[in-house]
Amino acid sequence: MVLVRYFAAARAAAGVTEEKIEADSLGAVVEAVVSLHGERLARVLTACSFLVDGLSSRDLAAPLQPGATVDVLPPFAGG
């Protein structure tokens, strides 16, 4: 299981702040959360970046360790 934490627009689209997902890669996380929360979240995810255990990740095929934390971060305005 991995912990998925949603921020800003991703949180609004998912309707939850966090949840545990059974997934072994970032791509599997994306597939699982879109399956759970639908098209609205899918649209938001296209603009999101991801942190895996605090490190930026873009590799959807990279394996995740059990207990990993995946932060879903939409673009933020401001500075």
What range defines the domain where residue 63 resides? Answer: 2-73
Residues near 42 by Cβ (< 8 Å), separated by ≥ 6? Answer: 34
Tally of structural domains, the chain? 1
pLDDT confidence bin for 75, thresholds 50/70/90: confident
User: What CATH number has the domain bearing residue 66?
Assistant: 3.10.20.30
| pLDDT tens per residue, range 24-66 | 999 999 999 999 999 999 999 999 999 999 999 999 998 999 9
Alpha-carbon distance 70 to 52, whole Å? 5
pLDDT confidence bin for 68, thresholds 50/70/90: very high
Half-sphere exposure of 15 (CA within 13 A, CB side): 8
- 69 forms beta bridges with 3
Does residue 32 fall inside a structural domain? yes
Does residue 79 fall inside a structural domain? no
Terminal C-alpha separation, the chain: 34
pLDDT confidence bin for 76, thresholds 50/70/90: confident
Model confidence at 21: pLDDT above 70: yes
pTM of the model: 0.93
